[in-house]
Amino acid sequence: MNACPVSKTDQDAGDRPVFPPQVVVEIKALACELPSESDLPFSRFSHSDIAREAVQRGIVASVSGATVWRWLNADAIKPWSHRSWIFPRDSRFAEKAGRVLDLYQGVWEGQPLTADDYVICADEKTSIQARRRVAPGTGPHPHRNRRVEAEYERRGALAYIAAWDVRQAKLFGLCHTTTGIQPFHRLVDLVMQQQPYRSARRVFWVTDNGSSHRGEASAQRLSQWYPNAVQIHTPVHASRLNQIEIYLSIVQRKVLTPNDFPDLGTLEAKLLRFQSYYEAGCHEWTSAPSQLLLTLGYCCWYNP
């Protein structure tokens, strides 16, 4: 293959060289490859690597890394960056995810839910440490961020197990030393032993596939505990479809960061107080379930 020379047409000294569009397209295509596909001994392309490889492949006779960066920047192509990703393992991903999203919109098996049906999302946040900082921190000042002491003493850990009523914007939660079937049973009891859930027609429990509530065995166990309870699992590696994860991420940002608790009792009290605070705020934001779903950003979906 003959390398495309840089066009010299109508260039004065100091002007940028002009490359045919075909060269730009081929170099962008090169940037979207993995180095391993060309048996190169590194894992990520830099703009200079791409420029060197383009010359070696004969795409162009000469090109600088800065020029390559300018072309890639126009299309936000960053081959030197990466993000972790979990690819779907379940061939029925869309079907299983669709059941969960239908419930959020008040539909089950093609039929609208009744006023006597409820949807509960549940999960746990495991191994939350209580870290006692060895020196008190300081608040923010003009031109200076808040300061948090880096050294700490470990004062134990606990799990926070929580549930969210999708249609009524109600939160339930408890703390336990570990996760497991029995702590999950305690959460189920906390919800199902009070009205309106105790006498409801159906209470759908949306969970992920964690060990505390995994598989058909968990669904059967739940129905034995409470005959009107129906467990629905999100697809494997799709716990993001569980609305309680939105709340747990808020807990992480607003309660647990930075982590500074003198003991487990203080940590537990803060988690449960925030739960009440957040629930009260949800009712202030809106009393319309459809608006609340939009507020929570429930429409997470698989993006291939």
Over residues 98-139, the pLDDT tens digits come to: 999 999 999 999 999 999 999 999 999 999 999 999 999 999
Kindly report the CATH class assigned to 93-136+148-296.
alpha beta
Domains of the chain, residue spans: 1-82, 93-136+148-296
| Sheet architecture: strand order including 117-133 | 170-176, 152-165, 117-133, 202-207, 229-233
Average model confidence (pLDDT) across the chain: 88
Q: What is the predicted pLDDT for the residue at 302?
A: 37
Mean pLDDT (whole number) for 130-157 = 94
Query: What pLDDT, on the 0 to 100 scale, is given for residue 174?
Result: 97
The reported pLDDT for the residue numbered 5 is 59
The answer to whether residues 212 and 180 touch, using CB atoms and an 8 Å cutoff, is: yes
pLDDT of residue 282: 74
Residues recorded for the chain: 304
Q: What pLDDT does 6 receive? A: 53
Nearest one of 274, 280, 222, 210 to 248, comparing CA atoms: 274
Residue 8 has pLDDT above 70, yes or no: no
pLDDT in tens, 154-165: 999 999 999 999
Question: What is the pTM assigned to this prediction?
Answer: 0.76
Rounded to whole angstroms, how far apart are CA atoms 160 and 162?
A: 6
Burial 166-197 (b: 16+ CB within 10 A, else e): bbbbbbbbbbbeebbeebbeebbeebbeeeeb
Q: Is it the case that residue 89 has pLDDT exceeding 90? A: no
